[in-house]
Chain A
Amino acid sequence: MLAPTLLLLLLLAVYPLLYALYLSMTSTQVGTPGRFVGLANFVRLPQTQIFALTLWNTVWYTVAAVAAKLVLGLALALVLAQRAPGMRWIRGAVLVPWVAPISLSVLAWTWMFDLSFSVINWVLMHLHLVPGPIAWLGAPRLARCAVVLVNVWSGLPFFGITFLAGLVTVPQELYEAATVDGVGAMGRFWAITLPLLRPVLATVLLFSLVMTSSDFATVFVLTHGGPMNTTQLLATLAFKLGLATGDLGNAAAISLYLFPALACMTYVQARLMRRAWQW
Chain B
Amino acid sequence: MVSGRRAALTYALSAPFVVFALFPFAWMLVTSIKKNSELYDLAQNPFLVRAGPTWDHYRFLFQHTAFPLWLRNSAIVAIASTAASVVLASLAAHALARLRFRYAEGVSTFVFIVYLMPTTLLFLPLARVVSALHLSNTLWSLIVTYPAFMVPFITWMLAAYLSSIPRDLEESALVDGCTRLGALWRVVVPLARPGLITATLFAFTLAWSEFIYALTFISTTSVKTVTAGVVVDLIRGDVFYWGSLMGGALVASLPVVLLFSLFLDYYVAGLTAGAVKG
Contact = CB atoms under 8 A, between A and B. Distances in A.
A260 B95 CA distance: 31
Given A79-B10, A162-B276, A153 B21 contact: yes
A79 B13 contact: yes
B276 A92 contact: no
Contacts, number: 268
Grouping DSSP codes into helix (H, G, I), strand (E, B) and loop, the A interface class, with mixed when no group exceeds half, is helix
Grouping DSSP codes into helix (H, G, I), strand (E, B) and loop, the B interface class, with mixed when no group exceeds half, is helix
Interface in B263-278: 264, 267-268, 271-272, 274-278
Nearest to B184: A1
B260 A165 contact: no
Contacts of B275: 162, 165-166, 200, 203-204, 207
A90 B95 CA distance: 38
B200 interface: no
29 contacts: A5-B155, A9-B148, A12-B147, A12-B148, A15-B125, A17-B122, A20-B125, A23-B124, A79-B10, A79-B14, A82-B6, A84-B7, A88-B264, A90-B14, A91-B264, A93-B22, A95-B271, A103-B227, A107-B230, A107-B231, A107-B249, A203-B275, A211-B118, A234-B120, A238-B120, A239-B216, A248-B124, A266-B116, A276-B278
A101 interface: yes
B107 A97 contact: no
B125 A99 contact: no
B185 interface: no
Contact of A1 (B91, B122, B128, B226): B91
Interface residues of A, number: 96
A17 B116 CA distance: 13
B113 interface: yes
Interface residues of B, number: 91
Interface of A: 1-2, 4-6, 8-9, 11-17, 19-20, 23, 76, 79-80, 82-85, 87-88, 90-105, 107-109, 111-112, 114, 116-117, 119, 122, 153, 156-158, 160-162, 164-166, 169, 200, 203-204, 207, 210-211, 214-217, 220-221, 234-235, 238-239, 242-243, 248, 251-252, 255-256, 259, 262, 266, 269-270, 273-274, 276-277, 279
B257 interface: yes
